[in-house]
Amino acid sequence: MTPQEASQKTADVCALAPVVPVLVVNDVAHARPLAEALIAGGLPALEVTLRTPCALDVIREMAKVEGGVVGAGTLLTPADVKAAVAAGATFGVSPGATDTLLDACEAEGLPLLAGTSTASDVMRLLERGYTVAKFFPAEANGGAPALKGIGGPLPQMKFCPTGGISLKNANDYLSLSNTLCVGGSWVAPNDLVAKGDWKAIEELAREAASLSR
C-alpha cells in the first residue's frame, strides 16, 4: 500500500463520523455490546488501543459487528501491525511515526493514522506522501490554536486530533479546515462500560455523532 492509498483510506474512515471512539477495553465480553452501542449511536469507526492484554481479542469480536470499521491503536512495532491485521483491524493508529512502523504498515496494507505533534513531524510525513495524520496529544500540544497554526504553512495535511478532547472542546477542532474528525474516549467512559450500560453509551455516541464539521 502506498502512502497515497493509505491516506485516502484513512480519510474515508475519518469521513464516517465526526468522532472516532478511542477504546481501552479490559474485558472481551464487553467488546460486542460496546461496538453495537457505538455503531447504533452513529459512530461506526472504532479505535481499539493495544493497551490491554485482551485488545486483539476485542478487535476480533468487534470486527464481527455489522456496520463497524475497527482499527487498532497504539501501534508501536511491526509485530503490532502484523497482529492487528491478523485480528481483523482495517486501519491503524499510532502515537508517533517511525520509518520502521510506516514500512510495516505499507507492507501489510494497513492504512495508518500516524501521530504528529510538530511541523517537522508533519513535513516528514508529507515528504513520504502522507496527507492525513493524527495530531497527538492534542490538548497538551496547544490544542485547536496550535493545530490551526500548523495548518497555515502546511494546509496539505488533514488531521484527526486526539488526546484531551471532549464534548466541550470537540467543536473547537471540528471547525478547523484541516480537521477531518476527532478521536476521544468520552463516548465510552470506563464506569459505564464496567456497568454494561450500553444504552447510556449509545446516547453519548448519538450526541457525538450530531456534532457539526
Please say whether the dihedral angle defined by the alpha carbons of residues 128, 131, 122 and 137, taken in this order, is positive or negative.
negative
Indicate if 47 belongs to the active site. yes
The closest alpha carbon to 44, from 156, 178, 208, belongs to 208
Indicate if 134 belongs to the active site. yes
Instruction: Estimate to the nearest angstrom the gap between the alpha carbon of 2 and the chain centroid.
Output: 20
Between CA 37 and CA 115 the distance in angstroms is 27
Q: Which of 134, 139, 158, 202 is catalytic?
A: 134
Between CA 141 and CA 198 the distance in angstroms is 33
Joined together, the cell numbers standing for residue 144 give 485547536
Could you identify the residue written with the cell 464496567?
194
Q: Where are the alpha helices (DSSP H) in 46-177?
A: 55-62, 78-87, 99-108, 119-128, 143-151, 170-174
| Cis check: omega of the bond before 137, within 30 degrees of 0 | yes
Q: Are 1 and 28 in contact (CB under 8 A)?
A: no
Joined together, the cell numbers standing for residue 116 give 504528529
Catalytic residues: 47, 134
